[in-house]
Amino acid sequence: MSSLHEFGAVGDGIADDTDAFQHALENGDGLVEIPRGDYRLTRTLVVDLARHQRRAVHGQGGLAKLIVAHAGPAIVLKGTHGGSADPASFKPDVWENERMPTLSGFEIEGDHPEADGIEIIGAVQPTLTGLLIRRVRTAVHVTERARNLIISHCHIYHNTGIGVHFDRLNLHQAIINNSHISYCRLGGIRVEKSEIRNFQMCGNDIEYNNNRAHGIPD
């Protein structure tokens, strides 16, 4: 386990912790722990699974916050899987190095009009659990290709764009469960120009995803 503090992060909401965070992602032992605090980011953190292999980012019970003070996503999970969900289509290095990147137990809050939450590209078994994502444009953007996505026990709340956006995406096997997806102006869950198979939703509260809460007339 690699604590952000060991890599020089301050977590006071003022200092720029981007370099320390990216350093931990690239050079830590794989599990990056975010201690309690507010961590200001001024550019996107990239989790390049092919380069840096298995990775997880874990907060302690929701006590840590990432402040997105830039345009674009706070975190990108980037994989290279080009096959289907059939086990025979997986390359050995994808199974060995890229499976199940996990983000859990922290908050993402926008502090820029074009801030976003999480982007997922080419990832296998991306797992988002126990996250709060608020005051961004799009909270979770999944694009190009993904397999076996799980979003569970998350609060996606009061965003100017879309809660979960499947955008120009080839996706097989996705589960969104036990989550609160509300007050996202352009939709709670939105699928556009995508091929989606085996998409399961259960036990979610999805409501008031419209203009009213943002003071914009219909």
pLDDT in tens, the chain (218 residues): 789 999 999 999 999 999 999 999 999 989 999 999 999 999 999 999 999 889 999 999 999 999 999 999 999 999 988 777 778 787 888 888 889 999 999 999 999 999 999 999 999 999 999 999 999 999 999 999 999 999 999 999 999 999 999 999 999 999 999 999 999 999 999 999 999 999 999 999 999 999 988 988 87
Question: What's the token pair of residue 111?
Answer: 């502090």
In degrees and rounded to multiples of 5, residue 19 shows phi and psi of -60, -40
- Residues shown for the chain: 218
What pLDDT does 16 receive?
A: 98
How far apart are the C-alpha atoms of 45 and 188, rounded to whole Å?
24
Domain 2-212 indexed as CATH 2.160.20.10: yes
Question: What's the token pair of residue 77?
Answer: 């999970």
**Residue 93 gets which letter from DSSP?**
H
Helix (H) / strand (E) element for 18: namely helix 18-27
What pLDDT does 184 receive?
A: 98
Q: Classify residue 100 as exposed, middle or buried by CB count within 10 Å of its CB (0-12, 13-18, 19+).
A: middle
Buried/exposed 162-198: b ≥16 CB within 10 Å, e otherwise: bbbbbbebbbbbbbbeebbbbbbbbbbbbbeebeeee
DSSP per residue, 97-126: HTS--EEESEEEEE-STTEEEEEEEEEES-
Question: What's the token pair of residue 94?
Answer: 């994808």
